Amino acid sequence: MLSTHPVETQNSGRQYLPQTHSNSTLSPNQELLPITAKINQRDRLEIGGCDVAELVEKFGSPLYVVDEATLRTTCRQYRDTLNRCYPGQSQVLYASKAWNCLAIAAIVHSEGLGIDVVSGGELYTAVQAGIPGDKIYLHGNNKSVEELELAIASSCTIVVDNWLELKNLAEIVNSSQRIMLRFTPGIECHTHEYIRTGHLDSKFGFDPHQLDEVLEFISQHPVLELIGFHAHIGSQIFELQPHQDLAGVVVQWLGKAAAKGLPVRELNIGGGLGIRYTESDDPPSIAEWVQNVSQAIVNACTIQHQPLPKLLCEPGRSLIGTACITAYTIGSSKTIPEIRTYIAVDGGMSDNPRPITYQSIYRAVVANRMSAPATETVTVAGKHCESGDVLIKNAQLPKTVPGDILAVLATGAYNYSMASNYNRLPKPAAVLVQDGEANLILQRETYQDLIRQDCLPERLR
């Protein structure tokens, strides 16, 4: 197993190098690089046995490189720890909003995970990837009737978010439909405002004061088979306490349903575990998170005299985030004396909108010269017509030349899934690497793809 904690401090002028260490319990979400990362004899970054610079030669640039071993390891850590630590039934779902495509959905399914989807498009992808309906959970705060019908036809569980949806369902469901209810648990956590969802002022879920009324409605509509409750408190969370607090809240809902004669059997406590994007990020391991959450549910059930529910969780970022790097080719540069040096790459905010959206900080290495000392402080800019299109401010990198390959680390979560075609940049390709083999999982978009949906009315021709 490899560690990506900086070999020495940043000031010592070293890049963030993979390093062999003996602590096999380290969880991928605590690493900067995928677990198979190493430096090969040509002094280049290798992932899944593939030389990243060679991948770029073969598949083009920019390129998402996804390490299958890292993804499978995170899936297994969640699944196995939950099986070991939680005495009742359990199921891990992959929050596919982090990155939904056929190959990734198929991998998580093959590891025994179910999947959480939030739109007709994500649902369609999951079904096409071969995931059976009983392993698919549909979320969303404004599902259309069409999306609800697709979920019903695919035999998914629907996580009902609000009154309109509940009433629509009561009208369109003919035979029994499995539903869960999403409530806002009223739990604060320290993360970016946009990715916090559990506090009361949130657009997601019923407000807790509506619980009795909602349960009453469901008890009068027996086609709606209420199997459980759902809550999610936010994303990129490093604290364990909010999830422990959440357990106490969701178990109370079980008690209220039981009092109404509704035997609710499942609790979904959402996702949210953070990952390491920089050497100062220190998230708990997947195992610690699962152990804490499991114990908190067991304790809450004991205190509140409730039978143990089936426990579901739905991580996204911590499953896929560390598994991917984005490889770019370095192009132009600009030095403004005594202010800064920009180096530009051939992608940017279209393939990674997180820095401009959330001021997220990333780390990068020069993948074709891994042991070159990081002697420069440069700002890595994208190629979009937007001053804010900066991927990394003040990155510590070796001196670079046009054509060098820059690998930005931990780009698996919410990069491709939030990618755009701003400035009509085609979206990059993605390859899955394992044991020296690389397989395309997303083709690079072409200029033809960019105009595929364009229509030119006859009178404009």
Stated as kind and residue range, the H or E segment containing 5 is none
**In contact, 93 and 137? CB cutoff 8 Å:** yes
- Beta-carbon contacts of 121 under 8 Å, excluding residues fewer than 6 positions away, are none
Place of tokens 């993605």: 430
Residue closer to ligand LLP (CB basis): 133 or 271: 271
Chosen residue from 18, 120, 228, 272 binding ligand LLP by CB under 6 A: 272
In the residue annotation, 385 being an active-site residue is answered as yes
Distance CA(285)–CA(282), nearest Å, equals 9
**CB of 158 or CB of 343, closer to ligand LLP:** 158
Q: Which is nearer to ligand LLP, 44 or 97 (CB)?
A: 97
232 binds ligand LLP (CB under 6 A): yes
Q: Does 414 bind ligand LLP (CB under 6 A)?
A: yes
- Among 354, 363, 383, 427, indicate the residue that binds ligand LLP (CB under 6 A): 354
In this chain, which of 81, 197, 285, 352 binds ligand LLP, going by CB under 6 A? 197
Can you say whether the dihedral through the CA atoms of 38, 43, 49, 54 is positive or negative? positive
CB nearer to ligand LLP: pick between 267 and 397: 267
Task: Tell me the three state secondary structure of residue 106.
Answer: helix
Residue 445, φ and ψ in degrees, nearest 5: -70, 150
# chain residues binding ligand LLP, by CB under 6 A:
24
| Cα angle value 191/141/352 (rounded, 5°) | 50
315 binds ligand LLP (CB under 6 A): yes
Beta bridge partners of 434: 437
How far from 346 is each of 335, 403, 405, CA to CA, in Å? Answer: 18, 10, 10
**Amino acid letter at 188?**
E
Give yes or no for a contact between 406 and 327, defined as CB atoms under 8 angstroms apart.
yes
Between CA 46 and CA 370 the distance in angstroms is 10
Residue 235 near ligand LLP by CB under 6 A: yes
154 binds ligand LLP, rule: CB under 6 A: no
Q: Which residue number, 221 or 310, has a Cβ lying nearer to ligand LLP?
A: 310
User: What one-letter code names the amino acid at 204?
Assistant: F
Out of 85, 301, 385, 455, which one is annotated catalytic? 385
Does residue number 276 form part of the binding site for ligand LLP (CB under 6 A)? no
Query: What is the Cα–Cα distance from 167 to 221, expressed in whole angstroms?
Result: 10
State the Cα–Cα distance between residues 304 and 252, nearest whole angstrom: 7
List the structure tokens of 266: 């499942």
Which of the ranges 71-79, 147-155, 311-319, 364-372 carries the binding residues for ligand LLP, by CB under 6 A? 311-319
- Does residue 363 belong to the site contacting ligand LLP (CB under 6 A)? no
Burial of 192 (0-12, 13-18, 19+ CB in 10 A): middle
**Which one of residues 79, 135, 317, 363 is an interface residue with ligand LLP (CB under 6 A)?**
317
Question: Is residue 314 close enough to count as binding ligand LLP by CB under 6 A?
Answer: yes
Contact between 196 and ligand LLP (CB under 6 A)? no
Smallest distance, ligand LLP to C-beta of residue 140, A: 9
Question: Which residue among 1, 39, 195, 450 contacts ligand LLP (CB under 6 A)?
Answer: 195
Cβ 268 to ligand LLP, closest distance in Å? 8
Torsions phi, psi of 138, nearest 5?
A: -100, 120
**In the complex, what is the shortest distance from the CB of residue 261 to ligand LLP, in angstroms, rounded to a whole number?**
28
Smaller CB separation from ligand LLP, 165 or 314: 314
Give catalytic residue positions: 385
Residues of the shown chain interacting with ligand LLP in the complex, contacts defined by CB under 6 A: 95, 97-98, 116, 139, 195, 197, 232, 235-236, 270-273, 314-318, 354, 358, 413-414, 418
